[in-house]
Amino acid sequence: MAKLELTEEIRELYTSSARGVEMVDVPLFNFIMIDGQLEEGTNRTTSDSFQDALNALNGISFTLKFISKLNRKNPIDYNTMPLEGLWHPSGKNDFKNRSGWKWTLMMMQPEHISTDMFEDAVSSLRKKRSGISALKLARFEPFHEGSAVQIMHVSSPGLVPMTIERIKNYARKEKYQLGEPYHEIYLSDPRHTKPEKQRTILRYPIKIISGSKKEGK
């Protein structure tokens, strides 16, 4: 059975350094996606809709892995990818209080995963775990982020604003314009990781401003 090591193939995108901001070029990948919005007074860990979407994405991703491994003609095993979140600030751009922020949770899938396989996985999961309401919201589609800047945040979510400032300072220095949506990649499970040791990649797509180093290359 073939074994794909997805995290090795795209190391620079999922193993960023905490020492400084890095430029990356993110190609087109296929994702399972679910859209939602944080309820007032909630955060990632206390929002019912966020947790329901997370359960749906995990369930679909592991079901797809199982389907892939059982393929008679070409069985392929692989590591499932981490949860990612695209965030759309609502009202004040307050990273410590994201109540009302819209989000798109997603998990990247390998190239051999097809739309038919995705639909089979969702159908199978609905029969086994009908209590996950977010299953009906899941979709399978490509996402191309392109040029972006990112850094590893190693600490609690409450200190993310400090790391965001490092990104903004870097962008100003290099004459990059930060775009949207703001992107987080969750490499740690907060249920099993101490807050001060949680690892999250923070990423912004960028636009090149005239006169920047990137434009001159």
pLDDT digits (tens, 9 = 90+) for 63-112: 999 999 999 999 999 989 999 999 998 777 788 889 889 999 999 999 99
**Total structural domains within the chain:** 1
Of 79 and 216, more confident: 79
Query: Domain of 133: which CATH number?
Result: 3.20.80.10
Q: Do the domain assignments include residue 217? A: no
pLDDT in tens, 153-170: 999 888 999 999 999 999
| 53: pLDDT strictly greater than 70 | yes
pLDDT mean over 114-122: 97
- d(CA 183, CA 173) in angstroms, rounded, equals 21
Q: Kindly tell me the burial class for residue 38, based on how many C-beta atoms sit within 10 Å of its own C-beta (0-12, 13-18, 19 or more).
A: buried
Beta strand 139-154 pairing with 22-37 = antiparallel
Q: Tell me the C-alpha distance between 122 and 67, whole Å.
A: 11
**Residue 216 included in any domain:** no
CB crowding 161-170: b at 16 or more within 10 Å, else e = eebbeebeeb
DSSP state of 211: T
- Angstrom distance (rounded) from CA 21 to CA 166: 7
Of all residues in the chain, what percent carry a pLDDT higher than 70?
Answer: 93
Domain that includes residue 179, residue range: 2-211
- Cα gap 69→209, rounded to integer Å: 46
Tell me the per-residue pLDDT of 128-155, one tens digit each, with 9 for 90 and over.
887 789 999 999 999 999 999 999 999 9
The structure tokens 């001060």 sit at: 196
Angle at 149 between CA 29 and CA 146, to 5 degrees: 35
Mean pLDDT, rounded, of the chain: 90
| Choice among 43-52, 97-106, 112-121, 184-193 with the minimum mean pLDDT | 184-193
Contact 55, 36 (CB under 8 A): no
Please give the pLDDT value at position 89: 85
N-terminal to C-terminal alpha carbon distance within the chain = 43
